[in-house]
């Protein structure tokens, strides 16, 4: 049988690309530049499998660009950049790569929490600018983590992994909001308090960490009203999706001092960063590094490859989204 024709829209780790090329008829985006909507639409008629990333917008217009692609094997766990309904309507399977990036993303959530709480970004900028005048007792006073309440908005794999690091590693208290209480053994392990009402959680948390999927249901979940409900002097951490947060309202709260700080790894229209945040000292801004360690990025690629291989063999794909 001829090998499936596979297109990866961005460069993947070399070990994964080599394995893909060995098993399939692979086309790489060697320039590693974002593909236009027209190019993506044309690809739907030229390939059997399209492998996009979060930086691609696989909307209905793209999906309806051709009839050949039968599998969209997403490189990443989030899939709000893919029009799932349009894919279903055309009988196209969609897969993702859950689980393998849990620890890496939880690590970044703690990185942002520590950087925001200890004002590490401010300190580094001051030092590099040659403006540091030396140690003094009142310089860049931040917040401790021990005994503070971590409020997780969403308590799936990444939320729980973040809470474990915060509780066992830093002595934080854990609270969470979600559709339902977590498994009893997890709740006991973390002594975690469940809040069925989001605003009740926001009022109690010293650090709010977002762990819900993106998309219509969570768009602007943390809006001006939600931010106003947060405890004065608290911190907001987002490693989930940029569209969850109203960034103008966030900027206003950071300027006014209602929030002490924030740490963000994701934005609504990447690679653009909300202009209102760029001039603020009390927000840490990272360029979507949540899964960016070598082990995780390879594991994500191998997970996508396993989905493609199962499809090629006529088997059930391991990680179906649609």
Q: Is 288 a catalytic residue?
A: yes
pLDDT of residue 322: 85
Q: DSSP secondary-structure letter at 217?
A: G
Neighbours of 269 (CB within 10 A): 9
Q: Is 183 a catalytic residue?
A: no
pTM value is 0.94
Q: Is 23 a catalytic residue?
A: no
Listed in sequence order, the DSSP H helices in the chain are: 14-23, 37-43, 60-63, 84-89, 102-117, 120-128, 157-164, 170, 184-190, 198-204, 224-229, 247-256, 275-278, 294-312
Average pLDDT over residues 184-189: 98
Q: pLDDT class for 112, splitting at 50, 70, 90? A: very high
Strands 193-195 and 207-210, bridge-based pairing: unpaired
Q: DSSP secondary-structure letter at 132?
A: -
Residues 18, 124, 270, 295: which is the catalytic one? Answer: 270
Q: With a cut of 80, say whether residue 163 has pLDDT above it.
A: yes
Model confidence over 189-223: pLDDT tens digits? Answer: 999 999 999 999 999 999 999 999 998 899 999 99
Residues 104 and 291: beta-carbon distance below 8 Å = yes
Which domains does the chain show, CATH number per domain?
5-100+294-312 (3.40.50.720), 102-285 (3.40.50.720)
Residues 10 and 298: beta-carbon distance below 8 Å = no
Q: With a cut of 90, say whether residue 56 has pLDDT above it.
A: yes
- Burial class (CB within 10 angstroms; exposed 0-12, middle 13-18, buried 19+) of 17: middle
pLDDT of residue 31: 96
Residues 23, 68, 167, 288: which is the catalytic one? Answer: 288
Average pLDDT over residues 93-102: 97
Average pLDDT over residues 155-166: 98
Neighbours of 168 (CB within 10 A): 11
pLDDT of residue 2: 85
Whether omega for the bond prior to residue 43 falls within 30 degrees of 0, making it cis, is: no
Residues 81, 119, 241, 297: which is the catalytic one? Answer: 241
């Amino acid at each position: 049988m001829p090998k499936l024709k596979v297109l990866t829209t961005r460069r993947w780790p070399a070990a994964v690309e080599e394995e893909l090329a060995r098993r399939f008829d692979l086309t790489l985006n060697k320039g590693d530049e974002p593909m236009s909507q027209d190019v993506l639409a044309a690809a739907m008629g030229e390939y059997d499998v399209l492998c996009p990333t979060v930086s691609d917008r696989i909307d209905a217009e793209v999906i309806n660009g051709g009839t050949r692609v039968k599998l969209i094997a997403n490189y990443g766990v989030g899939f709000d950049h893919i029009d799932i309904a349009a894919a279903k309507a055309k009988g196209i399977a969609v897969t993702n790569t859950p689980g393998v990036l849990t620890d890496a993303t939880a690590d970044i959530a703690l990185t942002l929490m520590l950087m925001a709480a200890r004002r590490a970004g401010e300190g580094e900028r001051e030092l590099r600018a040659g403006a540091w005048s030396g140690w003094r007792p009142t310089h860049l006073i931040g917040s401790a983590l021990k005994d503070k309440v971590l409020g997780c908005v969403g308590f799936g794999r990444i939320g729980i992994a973040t809470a474990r690091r915060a509780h066992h590693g830093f002595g934080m208290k854990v609270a969470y909001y979600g559709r339902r209480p977590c498994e009893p053994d997890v709740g006991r392990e973390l002594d975690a308090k469940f809040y069925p009402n989001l605003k009740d959680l926001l009022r109690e948390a010293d650090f709010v960490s977002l762990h819900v999927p993106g998309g219509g249901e969570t768009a602007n979940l943390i809006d001006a009203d939600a931010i106003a409900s947060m405890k004065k002097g608290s911190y907001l951490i987002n490693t989930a999706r940029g569209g969850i947060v109203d960034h103008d309202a966030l900027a206003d709260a950071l300027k006014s001092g209602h929030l002490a700080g924030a740490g963000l790894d994701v934005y609504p229209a990447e690679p653009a960063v909300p202009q209102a945040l760029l001039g603020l000292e009390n927000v840490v801004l990272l360029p979507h590094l949540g899964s960016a360690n070598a082990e995780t990025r390879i594991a994500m690629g191998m997970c996508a490859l396993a989905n493609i291989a199962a499809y090629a063999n006529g088997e059930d794909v391991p990680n179906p989204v649609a």
